Amino acid sequence: MILLDDLLLFSGAALLMALTPGPNMIYLISRSISQRRKAGVISLFGVVAGFLVHMFAAAVGLTALFLAVPLAYEVLKWAGALYLLWLAWQAVRPGARSPFEARDLPDDSTRKLFFMGFLTNLLNPKIAVFYLAIFPQFISPQHGSVFLQSVQLGLAQIFVSFSVNLLIALSAAHIASWFSRNPTWLAVQRYVMGFVLAALAVRLALEPRRAV
């Protein structure tokens, strides 16, 4: 199974991903602000359902890949590092917008809220790339089933993302109001996140190849 140190590091990467603005965050914030907290929470459960689809698809795919190409880890390691650098750039690039600049959305039924949350996440390339590029950095076939290790990482990521997004959905209006009054802190948050993501990318790129 996944070593504790690796699981903690992965959870940190998952936390940074959850805090990085993307389609899921923007949709949940907009929904919570325009249709109140309950709508945001229902949408979040749809997002979690989408995570489960991505997780099992990645677990099956990585299992097959490691069996077919034992050295695939080396290729995916660099893909993961480049992906984290891209996320870092997205956080600090000129013109980056805050996800708390919510869109106006019409009120939807409970069923549609869940489905739209699910669809938003299912079609989110950020999640698929994260799973396929970052998972291999923390998987060692010598520690057991690649599939089970992938599921373990996926569940950790889902727990972290759910916790972060639940807090955001429940407090979106207050957070948006606070940032509108304190724009400097929004810029600071972006640059800190960008620095940490870049540092993690370098750490993963320098990680020695794992035995298979």
Q: Are 134 and 13 in contact (CB under 8 A)?
A: yes
Q: Does residue 55 surpass a pLDDT of 70? A: yes
Tell me the two tokens of residue 194. Answer: 């960008």
Rounded distance, CA 111 to CA 152, Å?
A: 29
Which residue range is the domain that position 150 belongs to?
A: 4-206
Cα–Cα distance for residue pair 154/133, rounded to 1 Å: 13
Reported as a single tens digit per residue, the pLDDT across 32-44 is 887 888 888 999 9
Mean pLDDT for 158-184 is: 82
* Residue 64 maps to a domain: yes
Average pLDDT over residues 47-72: 78
Measure Cα distances from 14 to 38, 70, 160 in Å: 25, 25, 7
Beta-sheet strands, E only, within the chain: none
Least Cα distance to 7 among 198, 144, 141, 149 occurs for 149
Q: What is the pLDDT of residues 118-165, one digit of tens each?
A: 988 887 767 777 787 778 778 877 788 888 998 999 999 999 999 999
DSSP assignments along 2-38, one per residue:
--HHHHHHHHHHHHHHHHS--HHHHHHHHHHHHHHHH
Distance CA 45, CA 118 (A): 8
Helix axes 146-181, 125-134, angle to 10 degrees: 130
End-to-end distance of the chain based on CA atoms, in angstroms? Answer: 14
Q: Is residue 211 part of a domain?
A: no
212 is a domain residue: no
Predicted pLDDT of residue 178: 73
Backbone dihedral region for residue 211 (phi beyond 0: left; psi -120 to 50: alpha; all else: beta): beta
pLDDT at 171 over 60: yes
The proportion of the chain whose per-residue pLDDT surpasses 70, expressed as a percent, equals 75
Q: Tokens 């955001």 belong to which residue?
A: 168
116 vs 189 pLDDT, higher one: 116
0.85 surpassed by pTM? no
Number of domains making up the chain: 1
